[in-house]
């Protein structure tokens, strides 16, 4: 699939692959391509339910993910290098990465 554009893609489940581990987040999830200082990134906004999953994601260097809605695959990311993670005011986790 291509890199996501500026229009958000909304799903309800995301499977994130880190090394040999797959983290599954369920709940309102959004991905969106952004451009900062001439470089393309993708932001993935996740529900922040499990602190262990959040910590594993914050410690990783690279990852990839598949976004689903009602069991149908909406988007499969290319391999990404983690740029930043942050929490929003409502507790969601925002993960930003760029293609490797």
pLDDT tens-place string over residues 27-36:
999 999 998 8
CA distance readout (Å), 34 to 43, 84, 91, 100: 7, 13, 21, 16
* Both tokens assigned to 28: 């309102």
**pLDDT at residue 90, as a whole number:** 86
On the question of pLDDT at 1 being above 60, the answer is no
pLDDT, tens digit, for every residue of 62-86?
Answer: 999 999 999 999 999 999 999 999 9
Domains of the chain from N-terminus onward? 9-99 (2.30.110.10)
CA terminus-to-terminus distance, the chain: 15
Instruction: Report the C-alpha gap between 75 and 84 in whole angstroms.
Output: 21
C-alpha–C-alpha distance, residues 75 and 67, integer Å:
5
pTM above 0.85, yes or no: yes
* pLDDT score of 3: 67
């Amino acid at each position: 699939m291509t890199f996501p554009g500026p229009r958000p893609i909304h799903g309800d489940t995301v499977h994130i692959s880190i090394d040999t581990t797959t983290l599954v987040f369920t709940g309102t999830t959004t991905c969106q391509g952004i451009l900062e200082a001439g470089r393309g990134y993708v932001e993935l906004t996740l529900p922040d339910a499990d602190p262990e999953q959040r910590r594993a994601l914050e410690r990783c260097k690279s990852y990839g993910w598949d976004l689903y809605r009602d069991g149908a695959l909406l988007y499969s990311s290319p391999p990404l290098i983690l740029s930043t993670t942050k929490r929003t005011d409502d507790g969601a986790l925002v993960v930003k990465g760029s293609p490797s």
